[in-house]
Amino acid sequence: MLMFCCCLLQNSELFTLTYGALVTQLCKDYENDEEVNKQLDKMGYNIGVRLIEDFLARSSVGRCQDFRETADVIAKVAFKMYLGITPSVTNWSPAGDEFSLILENNPLVDFVELPDNHSTLIYSNLLCGVLRGALEMVQMAVDVRFAQDTLRGDNVTEIRMKFIKRIEENLPAGDDQEERKMVFY
Amino acid sequence: MADGVLFEFLHMEMVSHVFKDQQSTNGEMNNKDRAVCTSVLEGMGFRVGQGLIERFTRDSPSFKDELDIMKFICKDFWTQVFRRQVDNLRTNHQGTYVLQDNKFVLLTQLSSGKQYLDDAPKYLAYSCGVIRGALSSLGLDSVVTAEVSLMPSCNFQVT
Render pLDDT for A76-94 as a digit per residue (tens, 0 to 9).
Answer: 999 999 999 999 999 999 9
A86 is a domain residue: yes
A176 is a domain residue: no
A175 is a domain residue: no
Among residues A19, A45, A147, A35, the alpha carbon closest in space to that of A91 is found at A147
Say yes or no for a CB contact (<8 Å) between B3 and A9.
no
| CATH of residue B110 | 3.30.1380.20
Q: How large is the average pLDDT for residues A120-147? A: 96
pLDDT of residue A147: 95
pLDDT of residue A21: 94
Residue A5's pLDDT band (boundaries 50, 70, 90)? very low
pLDDT of residue B145: 94
Query: Which residues form the domain of A11?
Result: 1-110+120-166
Among residues A59, A43, A70, the alpha carbon closest in space to that of A138 is found at A70
ipTM value: 0.91
For the stretch A6-54, pLDDT in tens is 333 455 689 999 999 999 999 999 989 999 999 999 999 999 999 999 9
pLDDT of residue A8: 39
A183 is a domain residue: no
The shortest CB-CB distance from B52 to any of A14, A51, A107 is to A14
pLDDT of residue A39: 97
Q: How large is the average pLDDT for residues A95-111? A: 91
A185 is a domain residue: no
pLDDT of residue A31: 82
CB B140 within 8 A of CB B69: yes
A115 is a domain residue: no
Task: Confirm or reject contact between B133 and chain A (CB < 8 A).
Answer: no
Residue B128 three-state SS: helix
Identify all chain B residues contacting A20, using CB atoms and an 8 Å cutoff.
48
A184 is a domain residue: no
Share of chain A above pLDDT 70, in %: 85
Between A177 and B89, where is the model more confident? Answer: B89
Half-sphere exposure of B133 (CA within 13 A, CB side): 27
The count of domains in chain A is 1
CB B42 within 8 A of CB B129: yes
Radius of gyration of chain A from its Cα atoms, rounded to whole angstroms = 18
Residue A180's pLDDT band (boundaries 50, 70, 90)? very low
Burial class (CB in 10 A: 0-12, 13-18, 19+), B99: buried
| CATH of residue A105 | 3.30.1380.20
Say yes or no for a CB contact (<8 Å) between B21 and A50.
no
Q: Classify residue A153 as left (phi > 0), alpha (psi -120 to 50) or beta.
A: left
Residue A173's pLDDT band (boundaries 50, 70, 90)? low
Task: Confirm or reject contact between A21 and chain B (CB < 8 A).
Answer: yes
What are the backbone dihedrals phi and psi of residue B64, each rounded to the nearest 5 degrees, phi first? -70, -50
* pTM of the predicted structure, to 2 decimals: 0.88
A181 is a domain residue: no
Task: Confirm or reject contact between A29 and chain B (CB < 8 A).
Answer: yes
CB B82 within 8 A of CB B105: yes
Mean pLDDT per segment of 10 residues, for chain B of length 159 residues?
86 94 75 90 95 78 86 92 93 92 88 74 95 94 91 90
Say yes or no for a CB contact (<8 Å) between A83 and B56.
no
pLDDT above 50 for A2: no
pLDDT of residue B151: 82
The minimum CA-CA distance between A21 and chain B, rounded to whole Å, is 6
The count of domains in chain B is 1
pLDDT of residue A182: 40
pLDDT of residue A12: 63
Q: Order of strands across the sheet with A88-90?
A: A88-90, A98-103, A157-166, A140-148
Query: Which residues form the domain of B57?
Result: 4-158
pLDDT of residue B59: 63
